C-alpha cells in the first residue's frame, strides 16, 4: 500500500503535484510492480467523485479517496481490514505509520522506498524529478491565464485543489545504523522485506 501523494510530495519537495508528475510516478511504480510481480495499491487524495473510486492503470490498483475522506483514512481502513496479513505500507506520515504499525503492518518511509526504486533503476534521480516538476509547474502556470481559468470546470478545480494540499509535519526517520545502535525488531523486519523486493 502506497500513500501516493505523500510519496510524491516528499520526493519532489513541493506540495503542488500536477497530473503529469503524478502519472510519471504511477508509471514508475507500475514498472516496479510488473518487474517484481507485486500487487500494489496506490491511494490518492481527491478524484472526480464525492466517494472513493478505483481504477487499474499501469498494473496498479489506484484508489482515489473522493472529497469526503482522505487517502490516509482509506489506507487506515484497508490496513485494519487486512490485520494478520503481510502488508507493507509506504508513507512518511507519522500518524498513518503509527496506526499501520499498531495493526501489524510493516512501514517503509517514502524516501526509503524511492531510494530503493532508484537503486533498481526504475525511478529517476531526485534532481531530475524536481527539474521535471519545476518545468511542468512553470508550463502549467504559463498556460493558466485568466481566460483559461474561466474555462475550468468545478471538477478540474477540485482536482487541482486536492493536488495542492500542504505537506503534513512529519518526522524524519532516524537511521540507527549511522549512530551505531542496533536495529529494532520492526526495522529488521522492514530490512527483510526490502531484501525480498
Show me where the domains of the chain are located: 2-169
The Cα angle at residue 192 between residues 189 and 197, in degrees rounded to 5:
125
Q: Give the pLDDT score at 148.
A: 39
Q: Give the pLDDT score at 70.
A: 92
Q: What is the pLDDT of residues 125-174, one digit of tens each?
A: 444 544 544 454 445 444 443 333 444 444 454 555 555 455 555 444 44
Instruction: Tell me what percent of the residues of the chain surpass a pLDDT of 90.
Output: 29
Q: Give the pLDDT score at 140.
A: 44
Q: Is 90 exposed, middle or buried (CB count within 10 Å of its CB: 0-12, 13-18, 19+)?
A: buried
Confidence of residue 41 (pLDDT cuts 50, 70, 90): very high
Confidence of residue 187 (pLDDT cuts 50, 70, 90): confident
Given a contact cutoff of 8 angstroms between Cβ atoms, the answer to whether 2 and 40 are in contact is yes
Q: Give the pLDDT score at 181.
A: 67
Dump the DSSP string for 102-145: HTT-EEE-HHHHHHHHHHTT-S--HHHHHHHHHHHHHHHHHH--
Positive/negative CA dihedral, 21, 25, 26, 28: positive
> Which of the two residues, 194 and 90, has the higher pLDDT score?
90
Lowest mean pLDDT among 73-87, 95-109, 129-143: 129-143
Distance in angstroms (rounded) separating the CA atoms of residues 154 and 22: 20
Kind of pairing, strands 60-64 and 53-57?
Answer: antiparallel
What pairs with residue 60 in β-bridges?
57
Amino acid at each position: 500500500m502506497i500513500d501516493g501523494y505523500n510519496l510524491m510530495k516528499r520526493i519532489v519537495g513541493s506540495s503542488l503535484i500536477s497530473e503529469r508528475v503524478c502519472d510519471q510516478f504511477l508509471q514508475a511504480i507500475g514498472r516496479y510492480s510488473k518487474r517484481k510481480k507485486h500487487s500494489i495499491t496506490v491511494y490518492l487524495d481527491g478524484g472526480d467523485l464525492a466517494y472513493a473510486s478505483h481504477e487499474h492503470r499501469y498494473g496498479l490498483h489506484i484508489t482515489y479517496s473522493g472529497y469526503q475522506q482522505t487517502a490516509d483514512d482509506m489506507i487506515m481502513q484497508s490496513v485494519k481490514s487486512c490485520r494478520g496479513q503481510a502488508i507493507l505500507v509506504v508513507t512518511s506520515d507519522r500518524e498513518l505509520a503509527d496506526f499501520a504499525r499498531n495493526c501489524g503492518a510493516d512501514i517503509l518511509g517514502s524516501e526509503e522506498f524511492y531510494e530503493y526504486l532508484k537503486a533498481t533503476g526504475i525511478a529517476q534521480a531526485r534532481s531530475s524529478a524536481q527539474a521535471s516538476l519545476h518545468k511542468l509547474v512553470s508550463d502549467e502556470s504559463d498556460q493558466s491565464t485568466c481566460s483559461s481559468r474561466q474555462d475550468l470546470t468545478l471538477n478540474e478545480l477540485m482536482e487541482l485543489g486536492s493536488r495542492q494540499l500542504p505537506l503534513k509535519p512529519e518526522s524524519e526517520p532516524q537511521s540507527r545504523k549511522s549512530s551505531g545502535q542496533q536495529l529494532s525488531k520492526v526495522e529488521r523486519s522492514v530490512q527483510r522485506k526490502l531484501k525480498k523486493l
